[in-house]
Each structure stands twice: as structure tokens, then as C-alpha cells.
Amino acid sequence: MKQSFRVRCIVEGNARATVLSTTQPIAFLKGVDPEKGTIIDSKHELCGASFAGKILVFPNSVGSSVGAYVIYRLKRSGKAPKAIINQNADIITASGCAIAGIPLYDMTEDSIKEFKSGTRLVIDGLKSEVRVL
Amino acid sequence: MYLSPNEERALAGEYGESMQMAYRVLVALGRLSRAEKLIPIKWAHVSGVSYLTIGDYGLEFLQKVSSSKGTRFKVFTTVNPCGMDIENWDDLKISSDYAEKQLKINACYEKLGIANSFTCVPYQSYKIPSAGSHVAWAESSAAIYANSILGLRTNRESAVSALASALTGKTVFSGLHIDENRRPEKNIRVRLEKREKKFGGSLDYGLLGYFAGTKVEGVIGFQGVRSKLEVDEAKALSASIGTTGSSGMFVLGSREKVETIDFTEKEYEDNFSDLSSSEGGDLIVFGCPQMTIEELYELSRALAGKKFKKKCVVFCSSKVYEIARSRGYSKVIESAGATFVRDACADFTPLISSLGAHSVETDSCKGAHYMRRVHGVDVALKDSRTLVEENIA
């Protein structure tokens, strides 16, 4: 099984944490609770799950561009993910992570399905590489 | 992406936290679009002003940015309308809680240094840079107008990216800043042969844009339309394209040999019935996007000596209002019973709800789209002449 993956850097940084992974897009405005760091969209497969302090893996975000400010609020309330890995990063997630200072990477070669919830990952920003521990 | 030594220092935080944040945004977006560099801009237009849209999270972010010592906008910056008339919110039944938050947002922008009005038609009030100049405009209707009518170059920026451009005076060199990306991807051909009335006016162009936005993601080429539009027509076309699609530019009289889609009576009627949910309304709304001085002139001519039979609100910037006042247009319009709401957005103000309107009459497709969704009102779409003729005595 492949243990290390090349990723594209959007907002740099390192992280070492447990994964919370979904193949469904996330809407930050109204889809997450920025005071608790949880998914609250009742139609989402991760509804109720906490991503605070984890590496949050999802394909891309959807919904209002105010979502960028929700990502910023997550950081201020101490409930932000340690880092985010997208399949294809989009403007909302990218600008939100940039203002909040949350490392963001996306996958141009492999599928985010390689990263299952519960596994531990290291993001090496300098090498743009993700390793499974 | 290439960064100059100075840009690298800003990104490393040497010029303070706000500047670092702004460069982080530009670099992140540059990486997304695989841009080679950043370029200087002459004008930033920032969206994300109404408290109804950005809420407490946006306010918190703006307070952080504007409180950082010495942080000021580096280039000429205009901002979008806010959620109420700053001079007159109390009379217009805006709650004091809302007003307090809105004034805090406005104070943040004022501290950073903005031009003296809140407007979605910034091209009406300030000197336009020479054709070909690079700018960074959020507010899709203004960005599309800038590219297509003014010959400026901008991408459709977001609230955050335009703010980053205002703080740094730069934008990412990508998309519509680059010549080869400004050619039509598809054409839309107007073919309304069976129709008696000549194609024209803000409603017709609004419906055309509403349709075109759903069909073309890139630059839209139009055929079968005049090569020079009136300001209100170009404004309505731009606003509608921005409402339904991601396109950032159109070309009038396209000769590009690309796929061509017809806009016939059927498309006209289908889009009209999607947007117009009622025959009439209890409130008339003019000014989505905000009224231009040309439109206020036309409205004052149509209203001379007449009175509206129902409530009418007219949205425009305070700057355009001042011009209308000095030329006597506003007096005629006010004498007809209409109320001006300055520096606010018709779609994202609590006003429409607080006036207790159940249904609205307007000539704006963008307005119809958002007012139905944001305020839950029914909308009757009519062209501006009909709106006046049916409702005056």
C-alpha cells in the first residue's frame, strides 16, 4: 500500500494529526458550527462529527462565500482543523484557510479516498508530501 | 508563483499581520489558478458590506484587519452597498440592533480608507482608468460591466480576495487579466423575429443575461444585439449574467466562430416566467443594481407632476443622489411619493421585509431573483416604463 503522497500546496504549514474524511463536499456557512468545530448539516454523512484538531479531508466546499469567514471564526474559537486536504481546493476554502492560517493542500495526482478516517497523517509542508503513519 | 523580495517579506509577516494575511490570500489564489505572478492594480472594489450577508463572523474579521496598526488600503478603493440608508435608517424601520452592527462594519471600511459612497455601480461616480488597466473588482455585476463596457481587466473577485487586493494594491495575474482569455467561448444569438416590440431596455437585456449566464461559463459573445448599449441595458445585462453564472465578461457583436445558442421567444418567456411570480405587487422597487444618473433623469421625466398610487423605493448611492439633487431630479421623484434609500442594496437590506411587503414590482431580474429568495416575497417583473405608467395617477 502506498504510504506517501505528493500534494499541491495552497496555504503552507506542517501538521501531524488524525484524519476525519468524507467524500461529500462541505458547506461552511450553516453546514458547520464554528463554536464547536462540528458538522451540523443534517444531510451530511459526517453530521455531528468533530473535526477540531484533526486533519479534515473533503473534496471541496460548496455554498456561500461567507464560508471563508466561518473558517476564520473556527480558528479564533480554537475549534479549527489542524489542516485541510481537498481533492480540488476552491476559492472559499483557500481564502478562508489563508486568512485563518490553516495549512491547505490538494491532490492533483491521487484520490482523497486514500485517507480514511481514524488514520494518522503527517503533512510535510516543505516537501509537499503527506505520509501515512 | 514568482514573488518579489518585497512580496516575500510581506508574506513572512515583516509588514504586520494584516499584510501577511492579505498576501497569504493572494498567494493561495495564485496557486489555485497556477498564476505566474502578482500585478499592480489601479482600483479595488470590495464586496461583503451588508451585515445581512457577512454577519458576525465577517464583522469580527474586518475588525481584526482594521485594528492592526497602520493598516490602510493601498489603492483607490470603493465598497459595495450596505444594508441600510446611513442617514435615514430609523425612519425606514431598520432595527437598532441591525443598524449598530452595520455601522460597525462601515466604520471598519472607513478606517481602512474608502471612497465616500457605498455602491454597486462604482463606475457611475468616479473617474475610470484608461482602457486595459488592471483592477480587482468584487460585485459580479460591476466586474462584468468593467470588463465588457469599460475595457478594464478584472476577475470576478470575492469579498476576501478584493479586500486582499485593496490592502496590497495587487491581484493575481490570471483569467481575464490575460488577453487570450478574453475571447468568447460561446455565442448567444438573439432571434426574436415573431416579436413586434423592438428588443431593448433593462428588462429585455436582463432576461437575455439571465439566460446567457446559465449557458456559458467563460466569456459570452452576443449576436443580434446593438453594438452600443444604453447604460441601464448594459447594467442589467451584467447583473443578470452575474446572478446565474460564473462568466466575467461579454462581447457585443461577437464574430468568434464558436458554438452558438439561440435566444428566441421561448427562452425569453421561459426565463420571464421563472422570475416573475405575480401579476402585481404592493411595493415598487427601483435600483438593483443601484440607479444610474441617466435612469434617475428618465424616471424624473416620466413622473413630472404625477403621484405614485403605491409605495415606491428608489435605491442609489449617496454620490449619485447628490448629483440628482443638484439637477432637480430627486425633487420630482420625491414629490411623486417615492422614497430614496441611499448607499444600500435592495436585495440585502432588512428594509423589504420590515416595510411588510408581500409582493414587489421591479424591472430588475437580479432583484427578482434575490428578493424572492432573501425576503420570500412574490415579484412582478415589468419594464421600467410599464412600472411607472401602471402605478401613477
Q: Distance between CA atoms of B10 and B71, rounded to whole angstroms?
A: 13
Per DSSP, the three-state class of B371 is helix
In this structure, the answer to whether residues B12 and B49 fall within a common structural domain is yes
Q: Distance between CA atoms of B232 and B371, rounded to whole angstroms?
A: 20
Pick the CATH number of A4-132 from 3.40.640.10, 3.50.30.10, 3.40.50.980, 3.40.50.300: 3.50.30.10
Q: What is the pLDDT of residues B224-263, one digit of tens each?
A: 999 999 999 999 999 999 999 999 999 999 999 999 999 9
Range from A94-103, B191-200, B356-365 carrying the lowest mean pLDDT: B191-200
Q: Where are the domains of chain A?
A: 4-132
Q: Distance between CA atoms of B142 and B139, rounded to whole angstroms?
A: 6
Could you tell me which residues of chain B have a Cβ less than 8 Å from any Cβ in chain A? 21, 24-25, 27-29, 31-32, 48, 53-55, 57-58, 60-61, 158-161, 164
Angle between helices B159-168 and A67-76 (to 10 degrees): 70
**Strands across the sheet containing B186-190:** B250-252, B220-223, B186-190, B260-263
Instruction: Give the A:B interface size as CB pairs under 8 Å.
Output: 72
Closest chain B residue to A89, measured at CA: B32
Q: What is the pLDDT of residues A25-61, one digit of tens each?
A: 999 988 999 999 999 999 999 999 999 999 999 999 9
B160 and A66 within 8 Å at the Cβ level: the answer is: no
In this structure, the answer to whether residues B173 and B93 fall within a common structural domain is yes
A95 annotated active-site: no
Cα B217 to Cα B31, B32, B139: the distances in Å are 21, 18, 17
Per-residue confidence (pLDDT) for residue B4, from 0 to 100: 97
Supply the CATH number for residue B306's domain: 3.30.499.10
In this structure, the answer to whether residues B107 and B118 fall within a common structural domain is yes
Q: Distance between CA atoms of B296 and B370, rounded to whole angstroms?
A: 23
Pull the grid cell for residue B318. 449617496
Distance from CA of B255 to the nearest CA of A (A): 32
Q: Which domain holds residue B192?
A: 183-274
Q: Which of B283, B24, B145, B107 is nearest to A12 (CA)?
A: B24
Residue pair B183/B205 in contact by the 8 Å Cβ criterion: no
In this structure, the answer to whether residues B9 and B153 fall within a common structural domain is yes
In this structure, the answer to whether residues B25 and B167 fall within a common structural domain is yes
Percentage above 90 pLDDT, chain A: 93
In this structure, the answer to whether residues B37 and B101 fall within a common structural domain is yes
Distance from CA of B83 to the nearest CA of A (A): 16
Q: Which of B25, B166, B17 is nearest to A97 (CA)?
A: B25
Residue pair B134/B43 in contact by the 8 Å Cβ criterion: no
In this structure, the answer to whether residues B79 and B91 fall within a common structural domain is yes
Inform me whether the pLDDT recorded for B69 exceeds 90.
no
Residue of B8, B19, B29, B32 to mutate when probing chain A, most A C-beta within 10 A: B32
In this structure, the answer to whether residues B214 and B338 fall within a common structural domain is no
In this structure, the answer to whether residues B249 and B296 fall within a common structural domain is no
In this structure, the answer to whether residues B161 and B37 fall within a common structural domain is yes
In this structure, the answer to whether residues B259 and B288 fall within a common structural domain is no
Q: What is the mean pLDDT of residues A72-76?
A: 95
Q: What is the mean pLDDT of residues B111-121?
A: 95
Per-residue confidence (pLDDT) for residue A115, from 0 to 100: 96
Residue pair A89/A67 in contact by the 8 Å Cβ criterion: no
Of the pLDDT bands very low, low, confident and very high (cuts 50, 70, 90), residue B194 is confident
Active-site residue, from A4, A21, A42, A64: A64
Pull the grid cell for residue B254. 461577437
DSSP B312: E
Supply the CATH number for residue B105's domain: 3.30.499
Count of domains in chain B? 3
In this structure, the answer to whether residues B111 and B141 fall within a common structural domain is yes
